[in-house]
Structures are given as structure tokens and as C-alpha cells.
Amino acid sequence: MKMANANFDRSSGTKTAGFAPAALIKSAHLIERVGLAAIGGSCGLYVAAALLRRLNELPLSVGIVLLMMLFGAFSFYVGIDLPRRSARRSASIQRQRWSPDTVVEILSAVGIFLAAIATFASVGIIILDETVSDGWLALIGGGWMTGSSLQVAAGIIARSYGTAENAGK
């Protein structure tokens, strides 16, 4: 057994094999991503339901709900679980310097915030059975769409930057 795969158990003073098979780790990561997609889809469902309470006469309302759920699932799948970067370590973060990592972090954070606030407002509208103005509905729908789009942009930038960075090494 290699030392890299062995952990020293301090309580008993013995070495134990502490490793996780790559297939198990990949499966866990896939399950995590599917869970994030389910959260994004449910956020899209809540926002669509709140918007359609006022605009239920639309002939394509089922299609709109489905599209919002799919876009929400895609945005959370791509945008939240970003590849880990070396810039996240505090030793390598430099003040006053913009990098793709900084842009990705900001896009992801703002996107998650906007999507979460829009979802929170939508659930409140549904639960409290409130009727809100068209302006508020547009603000909620626009905030959710902007937030989800920012998450997609963050995920694409992080993955393309990571691929280009790894190809250069």
C-alpha cells in the first residue's frame, strides 16, 4: 500500500486504507449536480406559477412553465457547482486585480442571489394568495431570468477558462 492512500489512525496507532474509488466520487458528483438541477427546476416552477397566476389566459402557459423549469434546471446544473479554482485559496487572492476567477465568482453570486430572491417572492405570492401588479411580476420574472442567465454565463466562463488554462500547461 502506498503512503498516499494510507491514513494514520491516531487513536489506535494503525494505518487504515482511506480512499474512495473514482467511480464512487463521480457518481456522488453526478447525484449532487442532478440535485442542483432539481432545485433550479423547482425555482423555475415557482416563478412561472406566480407569473401565470396573473396571466393565466396565455394559450402556451404549460409550455412557458416547462421552459422556465428546464432553464432553471440547466442554470443551476451549470452555474452553481463551478470547478474549484486555485484563486479561491486566500493565499493567492490579490487585491485590486481582476481575473476570470473574480468575474466567475461575482456572476455566480449575483445570479444565485437574484434567482433566490425571485423564487422567494414567488413562493410568497403563491402562499399568501396575493395579487401583485404587472410591474412587480415583470420585476420578479426579469430578476429570475437575469439571475439564471448569470449562472449559466459563470458556468460557461469557468469551464472554458479552466479548459484553456489546462491546455496551456
Q: Each residue of 70-123: pLDDT tens digit? A: 998 888 888 766 655 544 444 455 555 677 777 888 888 888 889 989 999 999
Q: What is the pLDDT of residues 124-157, one digit of tens each?
A: 888 888 888 888 989 999 999 999 999 899 888 8
pLDDT attached to residue 55:
65
Which residues touch 76 (CB under 8 Å, ≥6 apart)?
36, 37, 39, 40, 41, 43, 115, 148, 151
Q: Please tell me the distance from the alpha carbon of residue 55 to that of residue 137, in angstroms, as a whole number.
A: 10
Note the pTM of the prediction, 2 decimals: 0.68
Tell me the average pLDDT of the chain. Answer: 75
pLDDT attached to residue 134:
84
Q: Please tell me the distance from the alpha carbon of residue 88 to that of residue 86, in angstroms, as a whole number.
A: 5
Comparing CA positions, the residue from 65, 80, 71 lying closest to residue 35 is 80
pLDDT attached to residue 146:
94
Residue 166 pLDDT more than 70? Answer: no
Q: Encode burial over 28-53: b for 16+ CB neighbours within 10 A, e otherwise.
A: eeeeeeeebbebbbbbbbbbbbbbbb
Q: What is the pLDDT of residues 50-85, one digit of tens each?
A: 888 766 666 667 788 888 899 988 888 887 666 555
Comparing CA positions, the residue from 117, 123, 112 lying closest to residue 51 is 123
- CB-neighbour burial class of residue 3 (10 A; exposed 0-12, middle 13-18, buried 19+): exposed
CA separation, residue 63 to residues 35, 45, 68, 79, 134 (Å): 23, 11, 9, 23, 20
CA separation, residue 156 to residues 50, 97, 109, 145 (Å): 29, 21, 15, 17
pLDDT attached to residue 145:
92
